[in-house]
């Protein structure tokens, strides 16, 4: 019986060893059939916002086969393939995400390109750009457009608000003052 147990253990060990060395193949994402270039671009953007770069890459690769001059397609594909350090400097400044803001709005404001949101996400180590929250600190790379936008934001914050004219206010009557009584010296 001891020999049978030993043979079973050796057989199981060999099977497990073979399983560990074999590669488990995962299906590669494929582009969605029958989309217009605009719809394919929107789908790729949604995939990137949802943290699905492989699916977005499949859509963008198909987009560029159909529309090789797509600047947005080229830019988004580069953001997936290239490390953020290849197009952003390491120097940055923090911005606190406000209610209603997203990485796309920050990209529009500071990088002048809302489609740079995925690069900004990768720059900040964010895997799923749609899951950022108000109050979260986002590093903005110190590129010329970002520095100019930051300076404008700071100037706007320190400027005094313009005086607002008061309208539709009823006049307040002044209290009636009695005429001072004349002293006896004034009567003369």
Cα dihedral sign, 119-125-126-127 = positive
Using a cut of 0.75, tell me whether the model's pTM lies above it: no
The CATH architecture one would assign to domain 85-156 is Roll (3.10)
Per the model's pLDDT, the better-predicted residue between 46 and 161 turns out to be 46
| Structure tokens, 175 | 């209290």
- Distance, CA of 169 to CA of 123 (rounded, Å): 54
Q: Is the pLDDT of residue 148 over 90?
A: yes
Average pLDDT over residues 29-37: 95
pLDDT of residue 56: 97
Neighbours of 49 (CB within 10 A): 19
Could you tell me which residue, 106 or 164, shows the higher pLDDT?
106
Of all residues in the chain, the percent with pLDDT exceeding 70 is: 72
Is the pLDDT reported for residue 140 higher than 60? yes
pLDDT at 160 over 80: no
Q: Name residue, tokens 């390491």.
A: 90
- 62, 42 in Cβ contact below 8 A? no
Q: Domain segments of the chain: what residues?
A: 31-81, 85-156
């Amino acid at each position: 019986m001891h020999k049978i147990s030993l043979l079973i253990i050796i057989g199981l060990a060999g099977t497990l060893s073979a399983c560990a060395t074999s590669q488990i193949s995962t299906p590669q994402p494929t582009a969605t059939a029958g989309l217009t270039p605009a719809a394919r671009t929107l789908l790729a953007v949604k995939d990137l916002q949802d943290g699905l770069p492989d699916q977005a890459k499949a859509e963008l690769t198909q987009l560029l086969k159909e529309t090789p001059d797509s600047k947005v397609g080229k830019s988004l594909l580069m953001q997936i393939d290239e490390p953020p350090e290849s197009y952003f400097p390491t120097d940055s400044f923090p911005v606190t995400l406000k209610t209603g803001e997203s990485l796309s709005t920050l990209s529009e404001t500071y990088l002048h390109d809302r489609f740079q949101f995925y690069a900004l996400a990768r720059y900040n180590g964010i895997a799923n750009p749609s899951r950022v929250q108000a109050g979260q600190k986002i590093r903005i790379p110190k590129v010329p457009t970002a520095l100019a936008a930051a300076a404008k934001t700071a100037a706007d914050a320190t400027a005094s608000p313009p005086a607002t004219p008061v309208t539709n206010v009823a006049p307040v009557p002044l209290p009636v003052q009695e005429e001072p009584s004349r002293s006896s010296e004034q009567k003369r």
